[in-house]
Amino acid sequence: MGGKMKYQMKQCILRKGTIEQTAWIPVKYAVIGKFVKLNEDNGWEIISTGMEIRSSDYVDDRSQDYKRTRKASDI
């Protein structure tokens, strides 16, 4: 059986210079003070981590909710 590997994810706040961004990242990288790469862009520092841990399947599915709502409401 093939398929996508599931990861445990944590929501974090990251900062690069004066820009802050929220992102779900794998738990093993969700360490305050650690620097990570987002979408080929290095240098994002983790400044905060959430308490909840979710599967990558859940995070991927929730990331599409906005598009599904827009499509269903014809906005």
* 66 DSSP assignment: H
pLDDT at position 1 is 41
In terms of Cα–Cα distance, which of 43, 40, 38, 6 is closest to 25?
38
Q: Could you give the C-alpha distances from 75 to 4, 7, 60, 63, 66, in angstroms and in order? A: 32, 33, 23, 18, 11
Q: What is the pLDDT along the chain (75 residues), one digit of tens a residue?
A: 445 668 899 999 999 999 999 999 999 999 999 999 988 889 999 999 999 999 988 887 877 766 767 677 765
